[in-house]
Amino acid sequence: MKKFVNDPAQFVPEFMKGVALANPDLLDFEPEFQLIKRKDAPNNSRVSVVQGSGSGHEPAHVMAVGPGMLDGACQGAVFAAPPVDACYETIKRLASDAGVLVLVNNYQGDRMAWDTAVELAEAEGIKVKQFHINDDVAVKDSLYTVGRRGVAGNFFVIKAVGAAAAKGASLDELLALAEKVNNNVRTMGVALTSCIPPAKGTTIFELGDDEMEVGVGIHGEPGRRRDKIKPADAITDELFDAVAQDIPFNSGDRIALMINGLGGTPLSELYVLYARAHARAEQAGYKVVRNYVGEYCTSLEMAGASLTILKLDSELEALLAAPAEVAVRIF
Amino acid sequence: MKKFVNDPAQFVPEFMKGVALANPDLLDFEPEFQLIKRKDAPNNSRVSVVQGSGSGHEPAHVMAVGPGMLDGACQGAVFAAPPVDACYETIKRLASDAGVLVLVNNYQGDRMAWDTAVELAEAEGIKVKQFHINDDVAVKDSLYTVGRRGVAGNFFVIKAVGAAAAKGASLDELLALAEKVNNNVRTMGVALTSCIPPAKGTTIFELGDDEMEVGVGIHGEPGRRRDKIKPADAITDELFDAVAQDIPFNSGDRIALMINGLGGTPLSELYVLYARAHARAEQAGYKVVRNYVGEYCTSLEMAGASLTILKLDSELEALLAAPAEVAVRIF
Amino acid sequence: MSDISQAQIERAIQTTAATVLKNEHYFSDLDGLAGDGDFGTSLATGFRVIQNDWETIDKADIGTMLLKLSMMVSKHVGGSSGPIWGTGFMRAAMVSKGKTSVTLDELAAMLGAAIEGIQARGGAQLGDKTLLDALIPVHETLTRDAAGGAADLGATLKDAADAADTAIDATRGLEARRGRASQVGERSANTPDPGIVAIAVILQDWCTEYGVARTPKAPELTRETA
Amino acid sequence: MSDISQAQIERAIQTTAATVLKNEHYFSDLDGLAGDGDFGTSLATGFRVIQNDWETIDKADIGTMLLKLSMMVSKHVGGSSGPIWGTGFMRAAMVSKGKTSVTLDELAAMLGAAIEGIQARGGAQLGDKTLLDALIPVHETLTRDAAGGAADLGATLKDAADAADTAIDATRGLEARRGRASQVGERSANTPDPGIVAIAVILQDWCTEYGVARTPKAPELTRETA
Ligand SMILES: Nc1ncnc2c1ncn2[C@@H]1O[C@H](COP(=O)(O)OP(=O)(O)O)[C@@H](O)[C@H]1O
Ligand SMILES: Nc1ncnc2c1ncn2[C@@H]1O[C@H](COP(=O)(O)OP(=O)(O)O)[C@@H](O)[C@H]1O
Ligand SMILES: [Mg+2]
Ligand SMILES: [Mg+2]
Ligand SMILES: [Mg+2]
Ligand SMILES: [Mg+2]
């Protein structure tokens, strides 16, 4: 296993400890519940925005905690939603008079854990609401299933809601805002390799040397199909078309464009994809107002990338431009 | 080849185009010389700080161009120093009355190219000086060779010099500052896998499934030795000891601590290394004043990391804290 | 047929823990086919705690013990398995409060309560390709046997194991409609559901533990016992 | 011995281009042993341009032509190879300005000038395990043959190829003291220097091109010609 790991069972708490040590003034870390929160939260004058999900998607989700972003987040084991207790304690520790908004990526495990935790918290009189993020267009939505998956679009929901919460928006306003962002953001990804969860010690799926998984999930779940690896531009075109046609986006739209690395793909390749995606957006008559190239929602060391488009309006543009700070920094 | 690439020969210009498209207000891109520069440079009231090196180390070097960092950088093919002409044109386009400082990572190819370019530029009356960065402690220095390699410590030289240049420091002052940072920064890295240069299409070296290369170069050059992969803490300890003993650093030192990913290693693993490195620094009595965890100087998709320690003083602390902006962003 | 003692239930739980730990990687690999490869690890995390803390668990009565198990799962098990198994234990606990032995009827009622709780929690129905497709048929055999169908507990165990075993092949071809696997559309068809397999493997091991002879059918079981 | 015509030199350059392109990956693989695996690609990039633009290159005389080649290398070739080969062509051009044919003496002088230029640029000496360890012995054979040592150009070519071939094994055990390979300490010992191999392969192919029979010695050459 080509990984920096000590005891695989301790992988998650160990990297969370690193995050805390690297941000002593900003964050508190509670190992018992694998919970990271802002030192200055909760603040009764504003809603607490929290999340909790499986690990392996870093910087999502615990590394997205900070001013203008999340107030706190708890993590489960790699790819496993957090235990019910961790979700409950997260709500409890971040309970604010203004309320708590839980941003849940749409997976059954996360939903069941948060549903249970929210019931327990409400029973204690805590004001809390949930929102389910589901931006992945890879698998067609269906009434009879759990619905679409939540992937990299998650970043935009957090950024917008976090910025609005900082400005003092109410719980209901934030819920409406989360829905607005989610309704206007779409993503699809592709994997060139499978990742290896430390505790599993083996790949989740097998890909041939010349194969890719189109529409892969961020936990290595299958996507639309297995195919031969194509030139970067052809791959970008397929992601772009799938995403652009879903809402659909229209000529004249002002958009934010994201190329998200899945963990093992270097920045240089992501910019090759961005160059094509940007050109396609301009051809389609979209105005790229903001762009994001890097790692936002990963799948451990999986080689691959996802493309996300968010339709903007003046409110969203202002919220995306608002100052924010998270555990991961450049300078 | 598990890569997003079109024509391998176009890999570098294509990703540079992506960088330019993603930063339309900040950067200009000249494909002919694979040169990226600040739109607002040169500025005759301050020294231009430039760099040029092989590609494959992104965000170094062209993605480090921006206010408070580099004024411009040219790139060669993957792992190949830029052609002489590109270096010469870079100096020429960024020539300022205050002078041009070229920060050269210490490799023979880069040195010969810049030596030639500097001779040509000086012949035209351009005021230009060079500095060689050599922070890699993996291979013992020797008078009879080209000397130590320049690796991730490069970031600190750029950051400090870029901040001082923005404040209007003179060419000689910047040269002295570069030397001061270089004298106080040390790095060593380890590789868990080899990368695959797109044009080569195969790995540079072969590592067994359970092997690592200790002290690897950022171009896949051999390091100190081949060894079996050890637990993350043991690896961190070896890197930490090699670096700490080199200058040596002393109890009471105020330091900046960096865990740099080599490209294929996810953030989560980097924070596992950081947790240990931070603990070791505190045990040694160093005060970690600033920390950096992420990708600063990579080797394509190589799985691996390097550890860098920089000894600080009040001047360097202020320069590292100064505002800066580069092509790669989070928000 | 004689009542089922708390001791027998405790032995079944310890057997289950052993089964889950022994199959950790196998269950995760099965989950990798249409899911995310963590099922085995998530379950093992919980049952490892149960095994390690076994002596200290309050076993005043069956209900108390199951409630403690439910709390341990809620504290330590993540993924869908946490809420599902935690709810299951919790609901079974509520209907066995104060009891130190149960009739087969009461055992069936415990499983029935667990099934209802899991359905309320996750919204899955029979045929959605979740472990409920094993638990519901098993529940039917228990009710039938309680109504005089089976000679002894061994025969009941065998009927239950048969039902779970059958569920593996009966659901293999289906597309999942609940759980992560339901989010991959037709890509979930023709892969066994790891939860169903886990129930069948556990019941097969119960048979072995209680000396009940039974030849498994589904390839996942023959591979496993092989 | 008769003079060497510009046509013969042009043919040698075209042969060199073919050799470099044919061996691009092999040269890069050799560079991977103690270096960074780009030697073949860097050289090939330059000689591909030379091959493609061949017709348009100003060939007024040998010096003019070599100067143009030097400029093409400076524009397109990166890595250490750019300055080294660019300087080499440039210096050879300066001493062949205006000539449309050269004596063997003058050819030796051109190579001598190139060697001096490369040494000035990169500071390498004989024994530092760089391509100079091939070029310097080759230069000696040219001077010797020019002083009446060789019967004809074929014999001279063979002597030169022998010298470069010998250099491969003679330097294999050394630690590099210049170039990237010098930064890996003893890890560079017992690997052939790609630059030396390239010179030997090029001269071997010149022999073949000019119909000079010669059996290569070093494994890198036999592999290559195999
Ligand atoms: N809504 C549900 N109701 C009942 N069982 C479910 C449900 N969703 C999933 N399961 C069961 O849980 C198993 C997967 O568990 P696990 O891997 O822990 O979940 P996750 O998909 O969150 O990783 C599935 O094989 C299935 O049998
Ligand atoms: N200082 C030098 N003088 C002469 N030749 C050199 C020198 N440094 C390197 N070389 C030659 O160049 C070859 C490597 O070329 P290349 O791979 O392009 O360089 P780089 O190390 O920059 O990648 C070496 O095999 C060696 O023969
Ligand atoms: Mg999971
Ligand atoms: Mg090179
Ligand atoms: Mg799972
Ligand atoms: Mg090289």
pLDDT at C225: 46
> Which chains are adjacent to chain D, needing at least 3 Cβ pairs under 8 Å?
B
B78 forms bridges with which residues in the sheet? B55
Peptide bond connecting B67 to the previous residue in cis, omega within 30 degrees of 0: no
Query: Cα–Cα distance between D175 and A108 in angstroms, integer?
Result: 60
Distance, in Å, from the CA atom of B86 to the CA atom of B37, rounded to the nearest integer, reads 13
Residue nearest ligand 2's atom 25 by CA: D195
DSSP three-state, residue A183: helix
Report pLDDT digits (tens) over B114-169: 999 999 999 999 999 999 999 999 988 777 788 999 999 999 999 999 999 999 99
State the ipTM, two decimals: 0.94
State the average pLDDT for chain B.
Answer: 97
Nearest bound ligand to the CA of residue D43: 2
Query: How many A from CA of D37 to the centre of ligand 4?
Result: 7
**Residue B10 corresponds to which tokens in the numbers above?**
């176009």
Among A85, A113, A204, beta carbon nearest to C36: A204
Atom 1, ligand 2: which residue's CA is nearest? Answer: D122
**Six-digit token pair at D108?**
């030796």
In chain B, what residues touch D179 (CB-CB under 8 Å)?
A: 108-109, 146
Distance of CA B37 to the CA centre of its chain: 17
**A275–C contact, CB cutoff 8 A:** no
Percentage of residues of chain B with pLDDT beyond 90 = 96
> Given CB atoms, is A293 within the 8 Å cutoff of chain B?
yes
Exactly one of A61, A132, A219, A278 is catalytic; name it.
Answer: A219
Write down the pLDDT at residue D225: 46
> How far apart, in Å, do the first and last CA atoms of chain C sit?
33
Q: Tell me the chain B residues in contact with residue D36 when contact means C-beta distances shorter than 8 Å.
A: 54, 79, 204, 217, 219-221
* pLDDT single digits (tens) A205-227: 999 999 999 999 999 999 999 99
- SS3 of residue B301 by DSSP: coil
Average pLDDT taken over every residue of chain A: 97
Of B2, B4, B12, which is closest to A273 when you measure between CB atoms? B4
CA distance B78 to B219: 9
Give the residue numbers of B annotated as catalytic, written as ranges: 57, 219
Task: Pick left, alpha or beta for residue A300 (phi over 0 → left; psi -120 to 50 → alpha; otherwise beta).
Answer: left
Per the DSSP assignment, residues forming a β-bridge with B292 are: B258
Query: CA of A127 to nearest chain B CA: how many angstroms apart?
Result: 30
For C173, other C-beta atoms within 10 Å of its C-beta total 10
Task: Tell me if chain D has a CB within 8 Å of the CB of B202.
Answer: yes
pLDDT digits (tens, 9 = 90+) for B66-103: 999 999 999 999 999 999 999 999 999 999 999 999 99
B-chain residues near D34 (CB < 8 A): 221-222
Residue C174: the pLDDT is 95
What whole-number percentage of chain B has pLDDT above 70? 100
Q: Hey, are the CB atoms on C75 and A219 less than 8 Å from each other?
A: no
Tens digits of residue pLDDT in B162-204: 999 999 999 999 999 999 999 999 999 999 999 999 999 999 9
Contact flag for A and D (3+ C-beta pairs < 8 Å): no
Helix (H, G, I), strand (E, B) or coil at A141: coil
Identity of the amino acid at D174? L
Tokens of C175: 């597309």
CA quadruple A86, A89, A90, A91: dihedral, nearest 10: 130
Ligand 1 atom closest to Cα of residue C123:
1
Q: What angle do CA B110, B113, B117 make, to 5 degrees?
A: 135
Distance (Å, whole) CA B214 – CA B206: 14
The torsion region of residue A267 among left (phi > 0), alpha (psi -120 to 50) and beta comes to alpha
Residue A276, Cβ neighbours under 10 Å: how many?
Answer: 27
CA distances from B12 to A54, A67, B57, C79 (A): 36, 36, 11, 42
pLDDT score of B237 more than 80: yes
What is the model's pLDDT at position B22?
98
- Say how far apart CA B199 and CA C181 lie, in whole Å: 39
Structure tokens at B170: 């003179």
Cβ contact (<8 Å) for B54 and D79?
Answer: yes
* Ligand 2 site residues, Cβ closer than 6 angstroms: B 80-81, 108-109; D 31, 35-36, 38-39, 42, 79-81, 84, 118, 122, 124, 130-132, 178-180, 193-195
CA distance A10 to D99: 75
Ligand 1, pocket-test mutation among C73, C84, C133, C168, most atoms within 8 A of CB = C84
Instruction: Judge whether B264 and B302 are in contact, CB under 8 Å.
Output: yes
State how far residue B218 is from chain D, nearest Cα, in angstroms. 9
A to C contact (≥3 Cβ pairs closer than 8 Å): yes
Q: Say if the Cβ atoms of A266 and B58 lie within 8 Å.
A: yes
Record the tokens describing residue B140, joined without a space.
């013992």
The pLDDT profile of chain C, 226 residues, written as one tens digit per residue, is 789 999 999 999 999 999 999 999 999 999 999 999 999 999 999 999 999 999 999 999 999 999 999 999 999 999 999 999 999 999 999 999 999 999 999 999 999 999 999 999 999 999 999 999 999 999 999 999 999 877 899 999 999 999 999 999 999 999 999 998 888 888 889 999 999 999 999 999 999 999 999 999 999 999 744 3
- Asked whether the beta carbons of D86 and D123 are under 8 A apart, the reply is no
C-beta atoms surrounding A202 within 10 Å: 14
How many CB atoms are located within 10 Å of the residue D210 CB? Answer: 15
pLDDT on residue D223: 79
CB pairs under 8 A between A and C: 140
Whether A57 is a known active-site residue: answer yes
Q: How far is the CA of B96 from the centre of ligand 3 (A)?
A: 57
CB B112 within 8 A of CB D84: yes
Q: What is the mean pLDDT of residues A257-271?
A: 98
- Does B30 reach chain D within 8 Å, measured CB to CB? no
Instruction: Identify the segments of chain D with pLDDT beneath 70.
Output: 224-226
Which three-class secondary structure state does DSSP give residue A328? coil
Q: Do B55 and A329 touch (CB under 8 A)?
A: no
Q: Which of residues 59-118 of B touch A (CB under 8 A)?
A: 59, 63
Q: What is the dihedral of CA B135, B138, B141, B142, to 10 degrees?
A: -140
Query: What residue type is assigned to position D188 of the chain?
Result: S
A168-195 pLDDT per residue, tens: 999 999 999 999 999 999 999 999 999 9
A72-78 and A48-55 beta bridge pairing: parallel
| Closest by CA position to B74, among listed A180, A139, A58, D75 | D75
How many whole angstroms separate alpha carbon A29 and alpha carbon A307? 32
Q: How far is the CA of C80 from the centre of ligand 1 (A)?
A: 5
Residue nearest to atom 4 of ligand 2 (CA): D130
Q: Which of residues 198-227 of A touch B (CB under 8 A)?
A: 209
Nearest residue of B to residue A61, measured between CA atoms: B268
Rounded alpha-carbon distances, angstroms, from residue A151 to A73, A101, A143, A198, A298: 16, 18, 19, 21, 9
Half-sphere exposure of B252 (CA within 13 A, CB side): 1
Q: In this structure, are residues A273 and A236 in contact, taking their beta carbons and an 8 Å threshold?
A: yes
